[in-house]
């Protein structure tokens, strides 16, 4: 009897299981729109390749993502740019706040002009191993009552992209008769750090370095561990110009040079972590002179032929900012 009872229980469980499986086979699968909606809810905002052409307006709404690996941030300032970016970008906050400072330093004093509630927008990405690119940044200052926008754009004939205002003028100033004709970015100004005595230009190794004025070469390649390959010129007005971290020097001590002569090639030698040129000016007993005060400065403007392409890129980047969820 006991064995018969066990068989009956197993038989009943088997029948019940078959009934459940039969009923489940009759359930309809999720509808395609519902599945697509679920996918969209978890997809990153940047779902299209960065260099993909813009989709026609009829095929994509105005707020559709227009770039692939860009991260878009819209926030308000609570304390400082550094704290604000740390709150929204975590471990990337310090690097991004430095990038923003380089962009807006030409128009805004981030120590005196910044106020709580100022608006900040940017699209950025990390280029391995640790290079940060900002495609577009926009800062709205309550104190100044203005909005400052910087678009990353490379005009035809330039070796590097630069940042441009909506009116087609370049964001950073450049030094007239400066040591470089082209460079990627000014990464450090004299006023950025009290212990830093020069102006740093981010530039590829092997870029020609030019004498800013007529002068005489005083020495080369001193203090190798810190300066690497280096050149020191005494300019015609008595100012001492130093060029550090070079890959090669093209002059020797005692040689006369004229304004515009190639005196060296940029590099990554000495105490440095990336290719750049350190440009330092001194007068009298080692008094440091700001290159922005010593040189005449100017700001480039895009010509008519370049404006159509730039305006199209600016619209694309505006759409990127508008695509933030």
How far are the Cα atoms of 70, 95, 139, 151 from residue 126, in angstroms, in the given order?
A: 8, 10, 21, 17
Distance of CA 52 to the CA centre of its chain: 20
pLDDT at 324: 62
Contact, 156 vs 169, CB < 8 A?
no
pLDDT in tens, 190-226: 887 778 899 999 999 999 999 999 999 999 999 999 9
> Do you know the residue count of the chain?
325
Q: State the Rg of the chain over Cα.
A: 30
- Of the candidates 47, 110, 120, the one whose C-alpha atom is nearest the C-alpha of residue 89 is 120
What value does the mean pLDDT of the chain take? Answer: 82
CB atoms within 10 A of CB 176: 10
pLDDT at 69: 85
Outline where 43-162 has alpha helix (H): 81-89, 93-104
pLDDT in tens, 39-93: 222 223 332 233 333 333 333 322 233 345 899 999 999 888 999 999 999 999 9
- Percent of the chain past pLDDT 70, that is, above it, reads 78
- Of the candidates 96, 102, 144, 157, the one whose C-alpha atom is nearest the C-alpha of residue 121 is 96
Residue 275 and residue 183: Cα distance in Å, rounded? 11
Does residue 230 carry a pLDDT above 90?
Answer: yes
pLDDT at 130: 80
Domains and CATH numbers, the chain: 71-172+301-322 (3.10.450.350), 175-298 (2.70.70.10)
Element spanning 9, H or E: helix 2-25
């Amino acid at each position: 009897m006991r064995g018969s009872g066990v068989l009956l229980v197993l038989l009943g469980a088997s029948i019940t299981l078959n009934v459940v499986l039969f009923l489940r086979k009759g359930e309809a699968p999720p509808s395609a729109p519902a599945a697509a909606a679920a996918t969209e809810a978890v997809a990153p905002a940047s779902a299209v390749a960065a260099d993909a052409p813009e989709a026609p307006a009829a095929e994509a709404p105005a707020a559709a993502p227009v770039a692939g690996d860009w991260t878009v941030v819209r926030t308000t300032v609570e304390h400082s740019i550094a704290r604000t970016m740390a709150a929204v970008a975590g471990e990337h906050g310090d690097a991004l706040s430095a990038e923003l400072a380089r962009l807006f330093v030409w128009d805004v004093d981030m120590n005196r002009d910044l106020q709580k509630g100022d608006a900040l927008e940017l699209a950025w990405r990390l280029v391995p191993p640790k290079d940060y690119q900002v495609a577009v940044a926009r800062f709205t200052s309550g104190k100044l009552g203005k909005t400052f926008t910087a678009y990353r754009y490379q005009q035809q004939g330039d070796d590097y992209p630069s940042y441009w205002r909506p009116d087609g003028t370049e964001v950073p100033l450049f030094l007239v008769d400066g040591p470089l004709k082209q460079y990627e970015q000014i990464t450090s100004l004299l006023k950025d750090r009290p212990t830093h005595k020069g102006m740093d230009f981010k530039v590829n190794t092997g870029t020609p370095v030019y004498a800013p004025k007529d002068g005489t070469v005083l020495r080369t390649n001193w203090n190798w561990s810190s300066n690497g390959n280096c050149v020191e010129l005494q300019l015609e007005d008595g100012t001492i110009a130093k060029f550090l971290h070079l890959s090669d020097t093209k002059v020797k001590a005692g040689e006369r040079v004229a304004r515009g002569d190639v005196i060296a090639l940029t590099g990554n030698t000495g105490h440095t972590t990336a290719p750049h040129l350190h440009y330092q000016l001194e007068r009298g007993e080692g008094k440091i002179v700001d290159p922005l005060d010593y040189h005449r400065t100017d700001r480039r403007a895009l010509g008519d032929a370049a404006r159509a392409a730039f305006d199209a890129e600016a619209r694309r980047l505006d759409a990127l900012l508008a695509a933030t969820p």
